[in-house]
Structure 1
Amino acid sequence: MKKESLDYEMETILAHFAEEPMTQGGAIVPPIYQNTLFAAKDWESLCNMFDDQINNCLYTRGGNPTVRVVEEKMAKLAGGERAKLLSSGMAAITAAILHYINHGDHVIAVRNIYGSAHSFLGKYVKEKMNVDTTFVDGKDIGEFEAAIRPNTTLIYLESPTTAIFELQDIPAIVELAKRHGIKTIIDNTWATFLYQKPLELGVDLEIHSCTKYINGHSDVIAGAIIGRAEDVDSIFMREHILFGAKMAPIEAWMILRGMRTLPLRLQRHQKNALRVAKFLDQHPKVLAVRYPGLESYPQYELGKKLMTGYTGLFSVRLDCADEQIGQFFNALRLFKIGVSWGGHESLCYSPAISYFKKLPYERFMELGLSLCDVRLSIGLENADDLILDIEQALGKI
């Protein structure tokens, strides 16, 4: 059966969608337009470029052909009308939030979100814009409903959440939000637009740290916002252009290269992570494994409802004293110790370190974290080698 281009599967879209080799001298790989500006052929053309910066490349701080290829692919894969690449995941988070809030508004956000996003909502917008944020656990729809005020304009989600890896019932929250005229944003970095489709579930804006799986090689920092054209175009002209969080053409090209192998990489991340998580789930020195792909995970059925696959990031709580955790970290050989995740390499990190430094003590305690909660980003190495490395490190505590 012949397929139209709009019906192609994700692997084919990643390989070909939005690429036109015959308009680029037959180049099978889109060129890197590493330039700051684009000349107009005449006065009328220049005027048109200024009038429609969204659909014309005038200045690379706004639009660039290399960047736009990546944006079109992302929008197609996520089921959105438009996507905008920005210079970091945090740039995407702040731009999306600011798009939906004004002075004196109220936001409802999940408690265990990315630490910098938590600081932005919990402190920055309160001080600068008198915007209050109510943080909720996220698992109970009744808690969202109880938190709604007359001036609530936004619900901010992250499913699964950072560090704790808890899910939210996205369709139920979206239904509640629409009933009250409230906008919704979700950070979908963990699952990516391949394994979870929040826009198809009714979420207004989907954001990503492209630094993680989308690029996948730990060599680019970038973010993306995906949604309706009306919203993304408004962000383009306001929060993107005015704040200057532009995407460099060379970095967009590197993201494009990384995206071509995204389905294959995610399959390997998932396979390795399941192996490691199952091993840890049975280990006597592990108190808990927080991974949505495990059948023992409390929200496993909800995860199956929302996602078509699982990636390689999860956390474990070790059965050790706080002063022993350094012995585990220092004994690791294959796992590198560091922040971030989603690259080809396996990483180990203690979320409590950064949360404790960023959040007030009472907010930190609400998260339910300790130094013995270890976050593991499972890379593309051999799973048996990773298990052996963890096993020998556990033997040191």
Structure 2
Amino acid sequence: MKKENIETILSHDGKKAHSKGAVVPPIYQNSLFTMKDWDDAEQTFDDRINNYIYTRGNNPSVRIVEEKLAKISGGESAKLFGSGMAAISASILSCITSGSHIITVKNIYGPANNLLQNYFKPKFNVDVTYISGIDIKEFEDAIQPNTSLIYLESPSSVILSLQDIEAVVKLAKPKGIKTVIDNTWSSPIFQKPLSLGVDLEIHSCTKYIGGHSDVVAGIVIGSKRDIDNLFTKEFELLGAKIAPFEAWLLLRSLRTLKIRMDQHQKSALAVAQFLESHPKIEKINYPGLKSFPQYELGKKQMTGYGGLMSFQLKTFDLNKIKTFFNNLNLFQIGVSWGGHESLIYAPAISYLKELSKEQFEGMGISLGDIRISIGLENTEDLVDDLYNGLKLI
């Protein structure tokens, strides 16, 4: 039988999920599941990873989404969490012990960086080495005897730098080092790190997978062995479960994920090309542009590009930057991204509150760096909005 394409997988929820022919599966909004007798209860508890006992563990509404995302990502199993940060925290915890060493890139998601630097490091004596991640030799030189994890984010936050995922995996595996990647920017549509050998793949489902700015969630995808291990420890014991209704919302969103990603990509490329040619833009970071320094690496490990990009204005005058921000009509100011609406944000606003001046400068970010997320509005309207805002600085 011919292998199903992603669009088909996303559009069908499986007959086992349906009740009386309902085209949309019901929401299993219950906290527990009863057993028919003593023997059934014993058998259920013998395999609590795969059975329904209590919604803090498994729930049918949640399971449908987990199975679908695992399938399109090329993973054997997946676990949904109540937020992207819960998924990140659980993944990292599953790969470290007290005294471990972690290698990561400088431009990872701000709260993830905070977790490593200000929580794991002082509380669990976990050492962290930050590198640019552009050259594989950086990873090789950073490895220590106690290195247990290489944490990737490709493309990375703000500057969207790439790491050679396959090369990192080839370096890590023989040494028994786990590899984890935040793959939110590309979504499972445009990049499949598990096929390149990565152990665990993370997504903030709040972004493209949710796509409607109405749900907060995260997911970890990997081998059955790794996800089972994570389930019985970091997931079950820390209790970062997702509600059945939120899982149902994600299921709704998955049906249009491929279509939405195609449009995000189309519009983002047009906006990036406009900004690239604008005289008031110093530089633009978007892997889909041929001028992007790692364009060829992007083509090698991605099949498409998300709608998030950054650019640097040719001014560090805060008043001018504020004028540009405040006079945009379609781009709303917001910290998240990946929804149907276009957003703008300046990393300096929050990063300077979360990081020291030295850490901020070490990430290669300036006051003039701007991040925009391209939504599903008309592309010409978005370009006009940016054009009108740039005229004022």
The TM-score with structure 1 as length reference comes to 0.97
Native 8 Å contact 1:37 1:58 kept in 2: yes
Tell me the distance in 2 between the aligned counterparts of 1:15 and 1:126. 43
Q: Select 2:12's aligned residue among 16, 27, 41.
A: 16
Native 8 Å contact 1:153 1:182 kept in 2: yes
Residue 174 of structure 1 aligns with an amino acid whose one-letter code is V
Q: Moved runs in structure 1, 4+ residues, more than 6 A?
A: none
Give the deviation of 1:322 after TM superposition. 3.1
Give the deviation of 1:19 after TM superposition. 4.4
Compared CA separation, residues 225 and 18, structure 1 to 2 (3 A): farther
CA-atom RMSD, angstroms? 1.0
User: Could you say which residue in structure 1 is the equivalent of 2:190?
Assistant: 195
User: Could you say which residue in structure 1 is the equivalent of 2:275?
Assistant: 280
Native 8 Å contact 1:315 1:375 kept in 2: yes
Counterparts in 2 of 1:256-271, with a 5 A limit?
Answer: 256-271=251-266
Tell me the distance in 2 between the aligned counterparts of 1:194 and 1:16. 16
Compared CA separation, residues 19 and 287, structure 1 to 2 (3 A): farther
Native 8 Å contact 1:32 1:249 kept in 2: yes
What per-residue deviation string (whole Å, max 9, x for no partner) do you get for residues 251-297 of structure 1?
00000000100010011101110111000000000011100001111
Structure 2 residues without counterparts, runs of 5 or longer: none
Tell me the distance in 1 between the aligned counterparts of 2:348 and 2:155. 17
Is residue 158 from structure 1 mapped to residue 132 from structure 2 by the alignment?
no
Tell me the distance in 1 between the aligned counterparts of 2:257 and 2:263. 10
Give the deviation of 1:18 after TM superposition. 4.0
Is residue 94 from structure 1 mapped to residue 67 from structure 2 by the alignment?
no
Give the deviation of 1:68 after TM superposition. 0.1
Native 8 Å contact 2:104 2:152 kept in 1: yes
User: Could you say which residue in structure 1 is the equivalent of 2:374?
Assistant: 378
Tell me the distance in 1 between the aligned counterparts of 2:350 and 2:37. 53
Give the deviation of 1:352 after TM superposition. 1.8
Local SS of the residue matching 2:212: coil
Residue 196 of structure 1 aligns with an amino acid whose one-letter code is Q
Q: Select 1:336's aligned residue among 324, 332, 336.
A: 332
Local SS of the residue matching 1:100: coil
What per-residue deviation string (whole Å, max 9, x for no partner) do you get for residues 17-40 of structure 1?
54425x522111111000100111
Counterparts in 2 of 1:228-377, with a 5 A limit?
Answer: 228-323=223-318, 324-377=320-373
Query: Which range is displaced more, 320-329 or 73-82?
Result: 320-329
User: Could you say which residue in structure 2 is the equivalent of 1:140?
Assistant: 135
Tell me the distance in 1 between the aligned counterparts of 2:330 and 2:385. 6
Native 8 Å contact 1:19 1:30 kept in 2: no
**Percent identity of paired positions between Structure 1 and Structure 2:** 60
Tell me the distance in 1 between the aligned counterparts of 2:257 and 2:118. 35
Give the deviation of 1:74 after TM superposition. 0.6
Native 8 Å contact 1:187 1:206 kept in 2: yes
Residue 389 of structure 2 aligns with an amino acid whose one-letter code is A
Q: Select 1:106's aligned residue among 97, 101, 111.
A: 101
Is residue 172 from structure 1 mapped to residue 167 from structure 2 by the alignment?
yes
User: Could you say which residue in structure 1 is the equivalent of 2:387?
Assistant: 391
Tell me the distance in 2 between the aligned counterparts of 1:77 and 1:60. 24
User: Could you say which residue in structure 2 is the equivalent of 1:209?
Assistant: 204
- How many residues of Structure 1 are paired with residues of Structure 2 in the alignment? 392
Structure 1 residues without counterparts, runs of 5 or longer: none
User: Could you say which residue in structure 1 is the equivalent of 2:213?
Assistant: 218
What per-residue deviation string (whole Å, max 9, x for no partner) do you get for residues 77-130 of structure 1?
111110000000000000000001000110001110000111111221111110
The TM-score with structure 2 as length reference comes to 0.98
Native 8 Å contact 2:13 2:25 kept in 1: no
